[in-house]
Amino acid sequence: MENILELNHITKSYEEGINVIEDLNLTVKKGELITLLGPSGCGKTTLLRMIGGFDLPNSGEILLHGQDIGQLPPDKRPINTVFQKYALFPFLNIYDNIAFGLKQRKMDKELIRQKVKHALTVVDLEGFEKRSVDSLSGGQQQRVAVARAIVNEPEILLLDEPLSALDHKMRLEMQAEIRSMHDNLGMTFIYVTHDQEEAMNLSDRIVVMANGVIQQEGIPEEIYDHPSNIFVADFIGVSNIFNGVVTDKGRARFAGKTFDTDTDFPAGTRIEAMIRPENVSITPAGQGALDAVVTGDIYKGSHHEITAEFGKYEVTVYGKNKVETGSTIGIDFPQEYIHLMQHDMDMNVFEGTANEDGSVDFTYFTLAPDAEFMKDKPAGTKLAVSFEPSDADLSDDPEAGFVTGHIDTIMYIGDHYTYIVRGDNDEEYYADDDWLWNMGDRVSVVVPQDKFRFRELP
C-alpha cells in the first residue's frame, strides 16, 4: 500500500521557544484510517490543522503524493475536514448544506444532484434533503457534516473529534457508521480523539501523542498489549505498572517478588513491568504468587473491578465474581501477560555551561555542583546534570524547588505516582510522589543538592 501523506520533521510553535509539535515524522498510507490519540494539549488537533492547511508549520514539510503542500491554503488541497462543531449553515437545508462546495465550484446542477444523492445514501439520510439543520439530532448533524465533506471526493478526510458532543450510546453507533463509511468509500481518514476506546474501535493504526511528540504508533492490539513506555501503558486502558529490574535471563523483580518473564533484556536493566487487570489471575489465599487484601469491588456489568493491596503496592484485577472488601485473595501474574518496558534513562537530563564562580547555567535554571567536582573546570566547560524521579518531591511552595511549573501528566506506578511537570519555559521534569496532585496544579520540583548527578561533556 503506497504512502499518500508524509510529514517530515514538522515543528510548530505559537510562542517563541515553546513547541506544540516537536520534530514530528509520520507517514499515512492510502486508504488507511489512522487515529491521532492523546490527552488535551498534546498537539493532535494542531497537527490535523496543519495537514488541512488551517495552520502552517514553522519548519518541516508536508508531502501529498511526494509534492510539498505545507504552504498551500486549505482550498488548494484535496483534503476536507469534519470539525468538532460540524459548522453547518443553519439557514440552508440539508441538500444545500451538502451541495455548498459543489455550487461554489459552479458544477453542473444535475451532477450536483447525483453527487448529493450518493452522499446522502452513504450516510443513510436519504429523504432528508429538504429538512432544516435545526430539525436534526446531533448524530444526524454529524452525518450531514460527513456527507458535505465526502461529496467533494477529497483524497483525505480529516475528522477532528466529531463525536465529542454525542452521548455514549450514540457515539458507539456513529463509530460503527464511520468505520463502515470508510470501508465503503476506500478514502483515507485521519481521525483525532482523546478517547482510547474510540481509537481502538475505529483505527487501522493508532498514533499516540504527548507534548507534541509521537510516543508510539501501531495497530490497536500492539498499542494495548505492548506499549512502548509508561505513558502509553498508563494512557491506554487500565494497567498495573511497577518499577523493577531484570535479575537474570528471563526473570525480573518487581512488586516485591521475582517473576518469570519473556524478556531478553540483560541482567541489571531497570524496567517498568505492566500487566492488564484482565490478565491478573485470582486464586484462593495462599495459592497465588502473593496474597493481597481486597480494598474495593465495583461491579462494571461485564466484570467486577477489584482493587487489592499487598505490602506497599496496589493492584487492580478484573474478576467474574464479587469479592468481599477486607478479605484476602491470592493473585498471580502469568508469564505470558507480563510486559516489560525499559526504564527511560533520558528522564531529567539537562545540559549546561560552567561559569567562572563554579555555578552552571542550564537552559532554564542555575545549579552549583560541589567544589571538588568543579575543581580545575574552567568557565565554558560543558556539563550535564541529571536526577532520578524518585529523588524529586513536589511542593506547592514556589520557592521550595529549583524550578516551577504545572502538572501535565499523572501516572500511577504500583505504589506511587509519577508526574510530568511542565516548567514555565516548557521543559519537562519527571518526579515521583506518594501524594495525588491534580492535573494543572502549580508546583515546584524539589531535589536535594546531593541527589543531582553531574558529568562533564566532551
Which one-letter amino acid corresponds to residue 50? M
pLDDT at 59: 93
pLDDT at 17: 63
pLDDT at 181: 83
pLDDT at 397: 95
The 3 state secondary structure assigned to the chain is CCEEEEEEEEEEEEECCEEEEEEEEEEEECCCEEEEECCCCCCHHHHHHHHHCCCCCCEEEEEECCEECCCCCHHHCCEEEECCCCCCCCCCEHHHHHHHHHHHCCCCHHHHHHHHHHHHHHCCCCCCCCCEHHHCCHHHHHHHHHHHHHCCCCCEEEEECCCCCCCHHHHHHHHHHHHHHHHHHCCEEEEEECCHHHHHHHCCEEEEEECCEEEEEECHHHHHHCCCCHHHHHHCCCCEEEEEEEEECCEEEECCEEEECCCCCCCCCEEEEEECHHHCEEECCCCCCEEEEEEEEEECCCCEEEEEEECCEEEEEEECCCCCCCCEEEEECCHHHCEEEECCCCCCEEEEEECCCCCEEECCCEECCCHHHHCCCCCCCEEEEECCHHHCEEECCCCCCCEEEEEEEEEECCCCEEEEEEECCCCEEEEEECCCCCCCCEEEEECCHHHCEEEECC
pLDDT at 92: 87
pLDDT at 315: 95
Rounded distance between C-alpha atoms, residue 367 and residue 360, angstroms: 5
pLDDT at 426: 78
Mind listing the pLDDT tens digit of every residue in the chain (458 residues)?
689 999 999 999 887 667 889 899 999 999 999 999 999 888 999 999 999 999 999 999 999 999 999 999 998 899 988 887 767 888 888 888 888 888 888 888 889 888 888 888 888 888 888 888 888 887 788 788 888 888 888 899 999 988 877 778 878 888 888 888 888 888 899 999 999 999 999 999 999 999 899 999 999 999 999 999 999 999 999 999 999 999 998 899 999 999 999 988 999 999 999 999 999 999 999 999 999 999 999 999 999 999 999 999 999 999 999 999 999 999 999 999 999 999 876 788 999 999 999 899 998 899 988 888 898 899 999 999 999 999 999 999 999 999 999 999 899 998 899 999 998 877 889 999 988 999 999 999 999 999 999 999 98
Distances (CA, A) of 353 to 357, 358, 361: 12, 10, 5
Structure-derived torsion over alpha carbons of residues 50, 52, 54, 55, reported in degrees to the nearest 10: 10
Rounded distance between C-alpha atoms, residue 21 and residue 18, angstroms: 9
Rounded distance between C-alpha atoms, residue 73 and residue 341, angstroms: 42
Rounded distance between C-alpha atoms, residue 43 and residue 19, angstroms: 9
pLDDT at 14: 81
pLDDT at 297: 96
Place of cell 470508510: 182
